[in-house]
């Protein structure tokens, strides 16, 4: 990413911080109203983890259909690593908020359980990769596994929490298909979604290049 774009993103995130803490009013109906501000970080992190897992599936499909290029396999693996990072951050921030609102860090709420299952599924992807030595076989197996995630991820992120009773506040888009949130909160939340998504793609680019250099170095080492 060009330096100027990186600083623009920094400025954007500073505005998100200002919006999250000083512009948006605390949401109504919470035991500790200020705790609702975590929504501006917790929800975009969960969103980015889902984007990362879906992006990994796209790169995996490109790997399988587009001539088995190593950079597509690498891009899928890096997307899953970052998806796990953002997913863990979303789970930790959610647990912190649950302690304040529900009295315990872990409540076996459907959303808590479904994101944990999703993270375990993708942690197994990394275990699978590290278990296969041959690059071609590893790439093929990992790509098929990541494509299976396309079925599992939306089910765990969107369907399970909506068909079971949940302690969680209503989803962003509620059962009536409406966004029940005041306009300041909505503006800040969407700005945060955008900022976190850009941050993910920037980190993805850096990590892919780092991995490519590491692969190049190890190829020289074995020559």
Partner 1 sequence: MGNGGIEWVVAVNLVIWTGLFIYLLRLGKKLRKLEKEP
In the window 90-149, what residues touch partner 1 (CB under 8 A)?
none
CB of 106 to partner 1, least distance (A): 24
**Residue number, 17 or 141, with CB nearest to partner 1:** 17
In degrees, rounded to 5, the angle at the alpha carbon of residue 190 between the alpha carbons of residues 186 and 196 is 145
17 makes contact with partner 1 (CB under 8 A): yes
Site string for partner 1, 197-216 (x = CB under 8 A): -----xx--x--xx--x---
Backbone dihedral angles phi then psi of residue 143, each to the nearest 5 degrees: -65, -45
Helical spans, DSSP H, in the chain: 3-18, 39-65, 70-101, 110-131, 135-154, 160-163, 183-222
Can you tell me the distance from the alpha carbon of 154 to that of 160, in angstroms, rounded to the nearest whole number? 9
**Residue number, 40 or 157, with CB nearest to partner 1:** 40
**Residue number, 116 or 187, with CB nearest to partner 1:** 187
**Residue number, 37 or 111, with CB nearest to partner 1:** 37
* Collapsed DSSP state (helix, strand, coil) of residue 30: coil
Nearest of 197, 217, 208 to residue 78 by alpha carbon? 208
Can you tell me the distance from the alpha carbon of 69 to that of 211, in angstroms, rounded to the nearest whole number? 14
CB of 64 to partner 1, least distance (A): 27
Q: Candidates 18-26, 80-88, 134-142, 183-191 — which segment interacts with partner 1 by CB under 8 A? A: 18-26
**What Å distances lie between residue 57 and 64, 117, 132, 190, CA to CA?**
10, 18, 19, 24
Q: Candidates 8-16, 74-82, 88-96, 150-158 — which segment interacts with partner 1 by CB under 8 A? A: 8-16
Nearest of 47, 63, 58, 44 to residue 150 by alpha carbon? 58
Considering CB under 8 A, how many residues would be counted as binding partner 1?
19
How many Å is the Cα radius of gyration of the chain? Answer: 19
**Residue number, 97 or 145, with CB nearest to partner 1:** 97
13 makes contact with partner 1 (CB under 8 A): yes
* Site for partner 1, rule CB under 8 A: 1, 3, 6-7, 9-10, 13-14, 17-18, 21-22, 34, 202-203, 206, 209-210, 213
């Amino acid at each position: 990413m060009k330096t100027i774009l990186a600083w623009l993103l920094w400025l954007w995130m500073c505005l998100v911080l200002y919006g999250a803490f000083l512009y948006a009013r605390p949401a109504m109906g919470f035991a500790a109203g200020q705790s609702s501000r975590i929504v501006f970080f917790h929800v975009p992190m969960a969103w980015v983890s889902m984007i990362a897992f879906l992006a990994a599936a796209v790169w995996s499909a490109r790997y399988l259909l587009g001539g088995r290029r190593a950079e597509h396999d690498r891009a899928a693996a890096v997307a899953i690593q970052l998806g796990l990072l953002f997913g863990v951050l979303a789970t930790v921030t959610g647990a912190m908020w649950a302690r304040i609102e529900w009295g315990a860090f872990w409540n076996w709420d459907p959303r808590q359980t479904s994101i944990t299952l999703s993270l375990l599924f993708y942690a197994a992807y990394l275990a699978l990769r590290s278990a296969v030595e041959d690059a071609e076989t590893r790439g093929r197996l990992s790509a098929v596994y990541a494509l299976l995630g396309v079925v599992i991820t939306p089910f765990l992120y969107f369907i399970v929490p909506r068909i079971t009773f949940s302690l969680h506040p209503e989803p962003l888009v509620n059962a009536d298909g409406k966004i029940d949130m005041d306009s300041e909160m909505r503006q800040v939340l969407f700005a945060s979604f955008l900022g976190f998504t850009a941050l993910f793609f920037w980190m993805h680019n850096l990590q892919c290049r780092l991995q490519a250099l590491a692969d190049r170095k190890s190829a020289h080492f074995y020559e």
